[in-house]
Structure 1
Amino acid sequence: MGTVGAGEEHPVYVQKLDAQGRAYSTGKRKNAIARVWIKPGSGKITINGKDQMQYFAREI
C-alpha cells in the first residue's frame, strides 16, 4: 500500500475569457440565479448600475 494521493496530478483550471476579456460565472440557489461578468478595470464594483456602498447601504 502506498500513500493516498502520492504522485497524482490535479487538473489545473484555466479561466475562460470572452472576446472582451471578461470572465463569466453563475450562482444558483433554489429559484434564484445570479450572473456576474468580471472585467479588468479600476476595481469599482457596481450592482444594477449602483455603487456597492449605495446598493448595500444597510448597517450590519
Structure 2
Amino acid sequence: MPAKSKAQQKAAGAALAAKRDPKKKRTLKGASQEMLESMSEKELHDLASTKHQGKPEHVSK
C-alpha cells in the first residue's frame, strides 16, 4: 500500500522506528501513534518506503 502524501510517509517512518526501538514510543503523537498500534512492521515499512517524488505534502480527506 503506497503512501498518498509525504506527511503520511513521515508518520509511517516514525512509527516504524518506534516499533523497532521501544524507547521512541513515548515521543509519538497523532497519526504515527495510531499507525504504531494498528499496523505491522511490514505494513509500516511498505508505507514508509514509498517513493516521495511527486507526492503532495498533505492530502485532504
Fold match, TM over 0.5? no
| Higher radius of gyration, 1 or 2 | 1
Comparing both chains, which one has the higher relative contact order based on Cα–Cα distances under 8 Å and sequence gaps of 6 or more? Answer: 2
Tell me which interval the TM-score lies in, with the shorter structure as reference length: under 0.3
Greater helix fraction, Structure 1 or Structure 2:
2
Greater strand fraction, Structure 1 or Structure 2:
1
State TM-score, norm by structure 1.
Answer: 0.22
State TM-score, norm by structure 2.
Answer: 0.21
